[in-house]
Structure 1
Amino acid sequence: MKVLVLEDDPLLQVDLAEMLEQMGHEVVGPFSAEGPRYAILRRVASGCSLR
């Protein structure tokens, strides 16, 4: 499964990406949870969101 990582903290971005990859997921991003990219992604993304 492709997973999009939206996180502002760079250390958490790396930790989340590594954990998800170890679970067998393909990580997309990471992206910051602020700004115009996030607004666009919220409109087009589907699936599960963890905050």
Structure 2
Amino acid sequence: MEEINRQLRQGNPSIYARTEFLNLGKIDFDPRPMVEGDKELIVKRLKEIIGG
């Protein structure tokens, strides 16, 4: 999870996840600051990173 989080942050645009659950193998995103299209951008980037 640490590597996925690192790649999310280094992408363009940078995507920041909450880090308190990384040690449990979970990536968590705060939906409050999200705007239209952010959800799809996160899914797209995660698929690129994990190869899906």
Q: What's the TM-score, normalizing by structure 2? A: 0.29
Q: Which structure dedicates a bigger proportion of its chain to strand?
A: 1
Question: 1 or 2, which has the higher helix percentage?
Answer: 2
